[in-house]
Amino acid sequence: MGFFPFLLLSLLALCPSFSNGDMEPKIGICYGQLGNNLPTQSKSIQLIKKLGAKRVKIYDANTKILEALKGTHLQASVMVPNEIITNISSNQTLADEWVKTNVVPFYPKTLIRYLLVGNEILSNPPNTTWFNLVPAMRKIRYSVKKFGLKKIKVGTPLAMDALESSFPPSNGTFRSDVRDEVIKPLLRFLDRTKSFFFVDVYTYFAWANQPAQINLDYALLAATNITYKDPVSGLAYTNLLDQMLDSVIFAMKRLGYPNIRLFIAETGWPNGGDIDQIGANIYNAATYNRNVVKKFTAKPPIGTPARPGVVIPTMIFALYNENQKPGPGTERHFGLLYPNGSYVYPIDLSGKTPESEYPPLPKPTNNEPYKGKIWCVVAEGANRTAVAGALSYACGQGNRTCDPIQPGGKCYKPNSLINHASYAFSSYWSQFKKSGGSCYFNGLAVQTAHDPSYGLCKFPSVTL
């Protein structure tokens, strides 16, 4: 052996090894079901195949979906629900029963490849489930081996809030409240079982929180002349997603696990949202998701600055705009498809369609923060019984929220449920927004820039 080949082998021996093995650069889709207007499970699987996805992640173990996946080439991720983690963590029999009931009947005709225990457990308020997570994963892993499900990996998806520091990437650090009792055992488990660190990573939320500090194109993976250099590692970054992923890699390395593979369990960009939600539009969503597809289907693989050339399996969130998801409007607008099965914007998850073949996108109109007043009113078609309950809730929060709609008040007439509820919603939101109050009321309310005030009745508003 000559000197240079020997030197090369010596250098490779010093570097962490990330075997791509049979991992191909393929994009998957997250199939959420929080809608009352969604296509059937079998129709949904056909739509997923049409999108060019190669993997699918569901948030339960829906038997109709798993049945519809039989005989397809779609690799599936199935989820153990949060609420049974604590019981499973101390009861192997329960773990065995769950796997036997929800996985064994479908394997291997349905290509179940990942069992995810819980969903973003560490994003919930402090609770005992945090500390039962890894014990439950061990039990599920034992069941997987017991039933001979050889190709299934066990993991758990965590959000970026599992880190207390992510900037610069080299300073990536897990939260101190979970670092020793949860994260270290988790990393030990993933390392020992050769599984993945599943992470939900959204550049949208990072950018929306600091739009003046973070360049939008940098967050969209669309920047052409922006580079950030990590002052410690010296690594150069051309997009925010790489920064966020590498902060996780450095956080794992800090705890002594530099080689655990990453799996993007969720990423995406909202195609719409509330008036006060910046940058949630079709143009940005299409730009981001197409760039994600381009990056993670590239051959040879691109990887990240900390792990160049490494395959990172990736799931885009989500299949549909789901109308029953709680929270801000963006939560109901992450879909690649409308519930009728039509595309929100053209996209090919296989990565084979060049950008030049897509038609022009509608120009964004909300990439700058909204400036003006916003009101909160009853949504069209809202259930009247539910509205009456929400009205009682809004008025019951005190602070004279509903005084003007009491008999004799300036907004009492017209004495109608919708009018009174709209006033109550606006009044509640204007008073409690800063402390976490929202204009949602379980889907009964919407934001409006049209002032609903009339005569002497002035509706309170939120001013941005």
Pick the CATH number of 373-463 from 1.10.8.50, 1.10.760.10, 3.30.360.10, 1.20.58.1040: 1.20.58.1040
The pLDDT score that the predictor gives to residue 58 is 98
Task: Check if the beta carbon of residue 60 is closer than 8 Å to that of residue 79.
Answer: yes
Angle at Cα 55 formed by Cα 318 and Cα 291, nearest 5°?
A: 60
DSSP 329: G
Among this protein's residues, is 83 annotated catalytic? no
Q: What is the DSSP string of 386-424?
A: HHHHHHHHHHTT-TTTTGGGSTTSTT--S--HHHHHHHH
Cβ-proximal residues to 294 (8 Å cutoff; 6+ apart), any chain:
351, 355
The pLDDT score that the predictor gives to residue 1 is 39
Active-site residue identified among 97, 181, 266, 331: 266
Spans of the chain, pLDDT less than 70: 1-22
Among this protein's residues, is 164 annotated catalytic? no
Give residue limits of the domains in the chain.
21-357, 373-463
* Helices 92-102, 129-146: crossing angle, 10 deg rounding: 60
**pTM, 2 dp:** 0.91
Q: What is the average pLDDT score of the chain?
A: 93
DSSP 258: -
Class of domain 21-357: alpha beta
Active-site residue identified among 67, 120, 322, 368: 120
C-alpha dihedral (378, 272, 431, 208), degrees to nearest 10: 180
